[in-house]
Chains A and B, each alone.
Chain A
Amino acid sequence: MTPEELQSIALKKHEENGKFKHCLHVCVGSGCCSSQADQVLKNLTDGVKKGGVDKDVRVIGVGCMGLCANGPMVSVDDNQPLYQHIKPTDAPTILNALDKAPPDEMVCDTDQPFFKRQMQVVRENSGRVDPEDISDCIAHGAYASLAKALTTMSPGDVIQEVTKSGLRGRGGAGYPTGLKWSTVAKASGPDGRGQKYVVCNGDEGDPGAFMDRSVMEGDPHRVLEGMCIAGYAVGASKGIVYVRAEYPLAVKRLNKAINQAVRNEILGRNILGTNFNFDLEIRLGAGAFVCGEETALIASIEGNRGTPRPRPPYPANSGLFDCPTLINNVETFANIPPIIARGSSWFANIGTEKSKGTKIFALTGKVKNTGLIEVPMGITLREIIYDIGGGIPDGKAFKAVQTGGPSGGCLTEKELDIPVDYESLAKAGSIMGSGGMIVMDETSNMVDVARFFMEFCMSESCGKCIPCRVGTCQMHALLDKIYNRKATPGDLALLRELCDMVKATSLCGLGQTAPNPVLSTLKHFENEYLERIQTSGATNAHGPSAHNGHEVNA
């Protein structure tokens, strides 16, 4: 296929879409599908056929629209109107109301801050395009950036553009993407053949996080396009999308997208009439959180046990099969097409001085509007929780928000006005992380929160290094003891000591960050720990006090 053919596909599809009077978008993301959205889609499709209006009304399944709390969502045309809480039996009502005033009780207000305060860059097409139809995606601009990069830019230009955009890794650590790309571009393989790889990290595993899933489900071609552009920039001819097997829908749509792209000669040999070759395949993760760590992920792709190894060498120099390997997160790759299409200065205008662009967060927990949001960097946590999130439900008071999942920390009322960017969050004692954001109200017990995340780290530790393998287990036992009011002041001191030791000596990020939830809850809510600690009989630090069975009312 040539860039001209790509354009003609887009035009033809536009023309086709234009013939319909209405288009119904049904969210068929994992969240809405769990509330029968797939049945809604089927009933609407059948209803249109039965009513004989299938020449006028187009019904498509689309990706996540964000407001998961009110799903399943159905959008008529461009949110005129947007329906919420749709059941399969509502299909006739929706079809009957197409040219009339929609029934008020089913309509979702799109003027509310949840929609108005967001800024869609990565998710601009999610909820609008049919992820399973490549021509619909092309009509909405997919692969135009790839064509632009391949035909008008050199690999060096692409890296320059990404560097100038200021994009940083969306996996959590915030490493400058352009710098990573240029490192891989300069590295040479072990055998001089120059084989390099591009790997997309889709092993999203933080509890309560589903940003990458929705991007892969809602707009898979954007991820493939980003990887393809990366391959061109760093000189790689092979890409691998590593997705956890717990995301069957994402895997299905990615597979379909890859097949369609190959059939349309957008992937493979001589892409878009140039001499650039790029093949993509999917590898499934078998359910290990640690495989989100890049060296463990590489071991897993190679067919080995998913355990991390000491760095350096970094994957940029010696990664998959010892070849230079570019590993970026799903959201990072999904940011590439808009940067190439609209230019680095447009992107660099969004966000703060050091954190550019937007960030997707999975807003969950004790907040009214749970769902997926994309906001410009620099927005405050207060705006996210109270304006976009709609505040805390049931008249309860806000207590804390956990960012960064099990590697992050909690932030309290005092920190709500700090801007959301990599540096500010780190300074406040948490991290940006991959985008999980769990809001807690006054009913949450922070010792329990710390214990929950420690249990997660304990069961996800690979067991390779001693501090993480034994340390997380010991810390979990101590937290459990504290929560059950059986601990002594000595136990708390030991917990602090282990936090410091595990953080300093663990092999990979999992162990190094596992103590963070404990440290941050200890920092902000030490009283909740202290009130559960026995003050009498403190001499017997570890032994019988756990078993003597008497409860102390603190």
Chain B
Amino acid sequence: MIAPNTSASVQSLTLQIDGKDVSCRSGQTILDVARENAIDIPTLCFLDGLSLWGGCRLCMVELAGSPRLFAACATQCAEGMQVVTDSPRLLAYRKTIVEMLLCERNHVCAVCVSNGHCELQSLAQKLGVTHVHLPYRYPKLEVDSSHDRFRLDHNRCILCTRCVRVCDEIEGAHTKDVKGRGIKSFIIHDLDQPWGEAESCTTCGKCVHVCPTGALTDKGTAVAEMAKRRQFLPYLTQMRETHS
């Protein structure tokens, strides 16, 4: 039998996520479809409206028939796929990833402006990270307060690069980027200058509001006051798509 030629139109597929039959359009990722169906897969670097990064590895899922794990944010659905998002193995890995972030730099929730509004904090609570079984590194890191309105606290940065991507892709300024590599990676401004001296910065503040932790904050906020507003991002991307 000759298969009908449907390449021009969008194909729909069915697959199973955690035993639940779901449908999707070809080209959708596992993460898209899981979220549409209220199946929670944790993420930190992923943000709707920004380009794919695939760095936090929290959304790793199991696929039937493969010993490997796959990042749900970067894996497209296929017909008949059987996805497992919450095996004990995956949960253990996710907890370790969160613990790795907590021990990598200095995350002290009790004195953080983002206490109560922090994605890392709520993820740790949700995953049941009651203690960290990896040695803390306690690195000595700087806080960049040179900008008039914003502050970058490297102690609380998890290097998800949402700020780098929003600055480049949405604002078009590309003030922020990453320097160094490995454990010595840091967010920088322009040519590794203090933020306040970075001429390309438009002071739009998008980076502050996409930051999942208290690394990027408004100045003048006290403990637990820094709530982030993300609504602009889907709005902006949608408006640009419809009017481009």
Q: Is B182 an interface residue (CB 8 A)?
A: yes
Q: Is the CB of A505 within 8 A of B101?
A: no
What is the CA–CA distance of A506 and B92 in the complex, to the nearest angstrom? 15
The 8 Å CB contact of A466, one of B68, B69, B75, B101, is B101
Q: Is A474 an interface residue (CB 8 A)?
A: yes
Q: Is the CB of A463 within 8 A of B180?
A: yes
* B160 smallest CB distance to A (angstroms): 9
* B127 smallest CB distance to A (angstroms): 14
* A441 smallest CB distance to B (angstroms): 31
Q: Is the CB of A470 within 8 A of B183?
A: yes
Q: Is B234 an interface residue (CB 8 A)?
A: no
What 1/0 flags go to A481-514 for Cβ under 8 Å of B?
0000000000000100110010011110000000
B47-89: which residues lie under 8 A (CB-CB) from chain A? 52-57, 60, 68-69, 71, 74-76
What 1/0 flags go to B158-173 for Cβ under 8 Å of A?
1100000000000000
Q: Is the CB of B183 within 8 A of A542?
A: no
Q: Is A379 an interface residue (CB 8 A)?
A: no
A305-B178, A501-B93, A504-B69 known; A469+B56 contact, CB < 8 A: no
Q: Is B135 an interface residue (CB 8 A)?
A: yes
A310-B74, A505-B69, A507-B54 known; A288+B181 contact, CB < 8 A: yes
Which of chain B's residues have a CB closer than 8 A to the CB of A498?
96, 134
Closest to B186 in A: A463
Q: Is the CB of A459 within 8 A of B182?
A: yes
Chain A facing B: main interface SS: helix
Q: Is the CB of A462 within 8 A of B57?
A: no
What is the CA–CA distance of A504 and B68 in the complex, to the nearest angstrom? 7
Q: Is A461 an interface residue (CB 8 A)?
A: yes
Which of chain B's residues have a CB closer than 8 A to the CB of A467?
57, 97, 100
* B140 smallest CB distance to A (angstroms): 16
A470-B103, A471-B100, A507-B57 known; A310+B181 contact, CB < 8 A: no
Q: Is the CB of A501 within 8 A of B55?
A: no
Q: Is the CB of A458 within 8 A of B101?
A: no
Q: Is the CB of B57 within 8 A of A505?
A: yes
Q: Is the CB of A466 within 8 A of B56?
A: yes
Which of chain A's residues have a CB closer than 8 A to the CB of B100?
466-467, 470-471, 474
* B86 smallest CB distance to A (angstroms): 15
* B185 smallest CB distance to A (angstroms): 4
Q: Is B218 an interface residue (CB 8 A)?
A: no
A310-B74, A470-B100 known; A461+B182 contact, CB < 8 A: yes
A395-440: which residues lie under 8 A (CB-CB) from chain B? none
Which of chain A's residues have a CB closer than 8 A to the CB of B185?
462-463, 469
What is the CA–CA distance of A238 and B190 in the complex, to the nearest angstrom? 33
Which of chain B's residues have a CB closer than 8 A to the CB of A471?
100
Q: Is A309 an interface residue (CB 8 A)?
A: yes
Which of chain B's residues have a CB closer than 8 A to the CB of A473?
104, 137, 182-183
Q: Is B35 an interface residue (CB 8 A)?
A: no
Q: Is the CB of B57 within 8 A of A472?
A: no
Which of chain B's residues have a CB closer than 8 A to the CB of A468?
182
Closest to A308 in B: B54
* A498 smallest CB distance to B (angstroms): 8
Q: Is B184 an interface residue (CB 8 A)?
A: yes
What is the CA–CA distance of A507 and B73 in the complex, to the nearest angstrom? 12
Q: Is B243 an interface residue (CB 8 A)?
A: no
Q: Is the CB of A494 within 8 A of B60?
A: no
Q: Is A464 an interface residue (CB 8 A)?
A: yes
Q: Is B240 an interface residue (CB 8 A)?
A: no
Q: Is the CB of A507 within 8 A of B133?
A: no
Which of chain A's residues have a CB closer than 8 A to the CB of B183?
458, 461, 463, 469-470, 472-473
A461-B182, A462-B181, A463-B181 known; A542+B135 contact, CB < 8 A: yes
What 1/0 flags go to B89-125 for Cβ under 8 Å of A?
0001100110011011000000000000000000000
Which of chain A's residues have a CB closer than 8 A to the CB of B69?
504-505
Q: Is the CB of B134 within 8 A of A465?
A: no
Q: Is the CB of A506 within 8 A of B104?
A: no
What is the CA–CA distance of A211 and B133 in the complex, to the nearest angstrom? 42
Which of chain B's residues have a CB closer than 8 A to the CB of A472?
182-183
Q: Is the CB of B57 within 8 A of A465?
A: yes
What is the CA–CA distance of A505 and B57 in the complex, to the nearest angstrom? 6
Which of chain B's residues have a CB closer than 8 A to the CB of A461?
181-183
Closest to B180 in A: A463
Q: Is A460 an interface residue (CB 8 A)?
A: yes
Q: Is A477 an interface residue (CB 8 A)?
A: yes
Q: Is the CB of B135 within 8 A of A477?
A: yes
What is the CA–CA distance of A309 and B71 in the complex, to the nearest angstrom? 11
Closest to B133 in A: A494
Q: Is the CB of B159 within 8 A of A463?
A: yes
Closest to B105 in A: A470
Q: Is the CB of B93 within 8 A of A460?
A: no
Closest to B136 in A: A542
* B143 smallest CB distance to A (angstroms): 20
Which of chain B's residues have a CB closer than 8 A to the CB of A465?
54-57
A466-B101, A470-B104, A507-B54 known; A310+B71 contact, CB < 8 A: yes
* B169 smallest CB distance to A (angstroms): 14
* A389 smallest CB distance to B (angstroms): 34
* A213 smallest CB distance to B (angstroms): 23
Task: Identify which of A461, A494, A498, A501 gathers the most chain B CB atoms within 10 Å of its CB.
Answer: A501
Closest to B99 in A: A470
What is the CA–CA distance of A469 and B45 in the complex, to the nearest angstrom? 15
A474-B100, A501-B96, A504-B93 known; A466+B55 contact, CB < 8 A: yes
Which of chain A's residues have a CB closer than 8 A to the CB of B180?
463
11 additional A-B residue pairs with CB within 8 Å, beyond A465-B54, A507-B71: A309-B52, A312-B76, A462-B185, A464-B55, A466-B55, A467-B57, A467-B100, A469-B185, A474-B103, A494-B133, A506-B57
Residue numbers of A with Cβ under 8 A of B are 288, 290, 305, 309-310, 312, 458-474, 477, 494, 497-498, 501, 504-507, 542
- A-B contacts, 6 of them at CB < 8 A, read A460-B182, A461-B182, A468-B182, A494-B133, A505-B69, A507-B71
8 closest Cβ pairs, A-B complex: A463-B185, A310-B74, A461-B182, A470-B100, A310-B54, A473-B183, A505-B57, A464-B55
Residue numbers of B with Cβ under 8 A of A are 52-57, 60, 68-69, 71, 74-76, 92-93, 96-97, 100-101, 103-104, 133-135, 137, 158-159, 177-178, 180-185
